[in-house]
Amino acid sequence: MAQIREIASGLRAPEGPVALGDGSVLVVELKGGALTRVTQDGKKQVVAEVGGAPNGAAIGPDGKVYVCNNGGLVFAEISGYTLPVPGLAAGYKGGSIQSVDLDSGKAETIYTECNGHPLRGPNDLVFDSSGGMWFTDFGKVEERRRDRGGVYYAKPDGSLIKEMVYPIDGPNGIGLAPGDKRLYVAQTFEGRVWQWDVPSPGELTRVENPGGAFLSGPGGGTLLAGLSGYQLFDSMGIDSAGNVCVATLINGGITVISPDGSSIEHIAMPDPITTNICFGGPDLKTAYITLLATGRLVAIDWPRPGLKLHYNR
């Protein structure tokens, strides 16, 4: 296994890494309600206080950072780890999609609902080549009930949002295959990754079975892969070979799934709540990985370049 290099520690429940062209990495801090820049020497600078619990981030076509804000989480310190636990955070008012100007730090709210239904816990997002964003809404997990989640497509200027898959329980990581030809969504508690062909921006090809919804995947999706045993999925990145690289909980690490689902490899990380991965460096062969329970951003050399994102800075 490649050597793990610690970039920064003391982060307040990090997620959503974004590697920037100057070598720094943006992360969201769920417990801190902030978008934070981390330099290669480990220095941390808060770019914007966005409130709630920012969960995922991506650069949009206008150069701004777009953030999935789940509205707040409850955390507990357990056996030396910072862990999210069931419950509604104090002051929770709903989830949102936000934008942050990296130069000024100004944060704006773009979406809080779709067709009159409030966003409960937006989680992760990815932009396509046309400038639209796909994002998941995980919902909220309380002590005695849990929301049903969904997958959405939206324009970053606030002009369009539409529900594409509903219901899907616990949708978390989301990614696009090379050429935007396929959409992937990870289910957390089920430990599954579902896929849909994307015939054009903002559209999905659905598989329907004669027996009805219970005999097909959520939203007409097809199963790429599922894990055995007690392993949960979080957010994801895609590498240049089309492998789906999913952050894995409990069995902390990155699960690498081949494009046809025939090969599954696990790369262990020293944290049971490994939350996300992105690729950076001049050749995109540095994988930056967020470790939530121990509050760290680490890096490893990846055997392949990551998939180049459509927008970056």
Report pLDDT digits (tens) over 39-83.
Answer: 999 999 999 999 999 999 999 999 999 999 999 999 999 999 999
Give the model's confidence band at 2: pLDDT under 50 very low, under 70 low, under 90 confident, else very high. confident
* DSSP single-letter state for residue 309: P
CA distance 91 to 46: 22
Percent of the chain with pLDDT over 90: 96
Q: Report the b/e string of 145-156 with b at 16+ CB within 10 A.
A: eebebbbbbbbb
pLDDT at residue 208, rounded to an integer: 76
Mean pLDDT, residues 223-248:
97
pLDDT at residue 216, rounded to an integer: 76
Query: Which residue has tokens 């701004």?
Result: 64
DSSP strand pairing (113-114 vs 117-118): antiparallel
CA distance 190 to 193: 9
pLDDT at residue 209, rounded to an integer: 67
In terms of CATH, what superfamily is 15-301? TolB, C-terminal domain (2.120.10.30)
Average pLDDT, the chain: 96
273 has a pLDDT exceeding 60: yes
> Six-digit token pair at 189?
């508690």
pLDDT at residue 57, rounded to an integer: 98
DSSP strand pairing (65-69 vs 96-100): antiparallel
